[in-house]
Amino acid sequence: MDSSAPPAPKSILRGHKSQVHASVFLDHDTTRLLTGDADGFVVLWDLTILRPRAVWRAHESAILGIRGWGTDKIITHGRDHKLIVWKLSREDESNMSTALPLEEGVERPQPWILHLIEVNTMNFCAFASCPAVPTISGPSISSADEVLIAVPNTILSDAIDIWSLPRQQRIHTVQGSKDAGMTMALSLFHLSTTLTLIAAFENGYASVHRLINGEWTTTYRAQAHSQPILSIDIHPSLTFFLTSSADSVVGKHPIPETQQETIVQHLDPSHRVVEEVVDEDDNANHVPKTTWKEWEYPIQTVNTKHSGQQGLRIRSDGRIFATAGWDAAVRVYSCKTMKELAVLKWHQVGCYTVAMANVTPYANESSEKDGSSPSKNASGGVTALTSTSTSVKDRRIHQAKRTHWMAAGAKDGRISLWDIY
């Protein structure tokens, strides 16, 4: 194989009739990929056979967000102002249709609806979720009995509501950045056991809000973009997050746990450090005053010279991230240097979503227990299982579970599967 040849996808999943807006790998089983399209259809793909296991129309309008919850629930968020929790276990799949959305005139049963919340979807902003209490699995809700859901507020375009499921109660409303326009992207997680919300807005601002002593405190607020922010993702270390926008900039931002301390001193005007009104007694005695304010500056901004990158996702090992481009290219960057590493071009029309498989450090344990051993490709990725006692099916399942799959969905209704780095 020519090493200079451009990278090519491992597989192409065809079947959506309209553009693919959302995609995610199931946290508890990376052999399963969920995709949602502009007509409201959801497809659950089995990557061991590259075929659908369940297909249904979840919403009357476009899918904004989708995610697995536990081992038998799926959350979908549609532009029909509904957020729905569906019950779909492995056993339930046998009752589902596998007829893809391209096939017309097919009756497709829906899974059982466990919960339904009426929400605001005028913002085109997908929901964010995390466990109700901190867990060792971080933001993953694969083992959570109760989850928190963040969505734009029903009335205020720059405010965010946080709901509790399965209670179906709104427990917080967080005021976003003032005059920042509509909320465009959200992330919700626990940092040092404190509930933390990251919000991105129409005017290019991103902000960090933390629930400290029962009050929501803004610890960071900065404008790294001149156009609406389209996507955000947090690094597995929880030390920074990334943003991409309708402009060509990708931003790296801190996640401060507290506000920064500012010493305000009112001395002679020619030596004044910071201007701030204080009472006359303090000013007369030259008494420094301590104030607290949010951090204002991103860690780094990079002009990629490619406008319209969305669906930004960081890989589970924290080494790389990828964006889906309106120019039909999927771009891969280094999280450390922010440099572009690869341009993946297969789709001929704009890409909208990227999903990364969550491969854990314990990925090889099961193979070691049964005496089999994984082989590696040139880039270090696991590609095969060598054992005289394993079947072709077992090796296929092993590869699907241990590959750092990346999926990209596009306007053409197709999903490209990649295995790089």
Look up the CATH number of the domain holding residue 176: 2.130.10.10
SS3 399: helix
Give me the chain's average pLDDT, please: 87
pLDDT at 139: 82
pLDDT at 265: 61
Does some domain include residue 63?
no
SS3 91: helix
Least confident of 2-6, 151-155, 229-233, 397-401: 397-401
Kindly state whether residues 139 and 230 are assigned to the same domain: yes
- The residue that leads in pLDDT, 320 or 178, is 320
Kindly state whether residues 128 and 241 are assigned to the same domain: yes
Could you tell me which of 60, 59, 66, 70 has the C-alpha nearest to residue 45? 66
For residue range 65-107, what is the model confidence (pLDDT) as tens digits? 999 999 999 999 999 999 999 999 999 999 999 999 999 989 9
pTM of this structure: 0.85
Kindly state whether residues 209 and 275 are assigned to the same domain: no
Does some domain include residue 72?
no
Tokens at residue 323, please?
């964006």
Kindly state whether residues 142 and 235 are assigned to the same domain: yes
Q: Where are the alpha helices (DSSP H) in 246-369?
A: 280-284, 365-369
Kindly state whether residues 136 and 252 are assigned to the same domain: yes
Work out the pLDDT band at 156, boundaries 50, 70, 90.
Answer: confident
Q: Sheet harboring 309-314: ordered strands across?
A: 309-314, 320-325, 329-334, 340-345
Instruction: State mean pLDDT over 109-126.
Output: 91
Instruction: State mean pLDDT over 362-384.
Output: 40
pLDDT at 392: 63
Kindly state whether residues 148 and 242 are assigned to the same domain: yes
Per cent of the chain over pLDDT 90 is: 70
Domain with 153, as residue range(s), is: 124-259+294-303
Does some domain include residue 382?
no
For the chain, give the number of residues: 421
pLDDT at 292: 87
Kindly state whether residues 252 and 266 are assigned to the same domain: no
Work out the pLDDT band at 179, boundaries 50, 70, 90.
Answer: confident
Beta-strand ranges (E) seen in 58-137 are: 63-69, 73-78, 82-87, 112-118, 128-131
SS3 20: strand
> What DSSP string runs through 104-151?
-S---PPPEEEEEEE---TT-PPPEEEESS--TTTT--TT-SSEEEEE
Tokens at residue 95, please?
């009752």
Work out the pLDDT band at 401, boundaries 50, 70, 90.
Answer: low
Kindly state whether residues 219 and 208 are assigned to the same domain: yes
Per cent of the chain over pLDDT 70 is: 83
CA distance 86 to 58: 9
Kindly state whether residues 248 and 128 are assigned to the same domain: yes
Query: How many domains does the structure of the chain reveal?
Result: 2
- The residue that leads in pLDDT, 35 or 401, is 35
Kindly state whether residues 155 and 185 are assigned to the same domain: yes
Q: Residue 139: is the preceding peptide bond cis (ω within 30°)?
A: no
Does some domain include residue 32?
no
Model confidence at 232: pLDDT above 50: yes
Least confident of 201-210, 314-323, 382-391: 382-391
- The residue that leads in pLDDT, 249 or 392, is 249
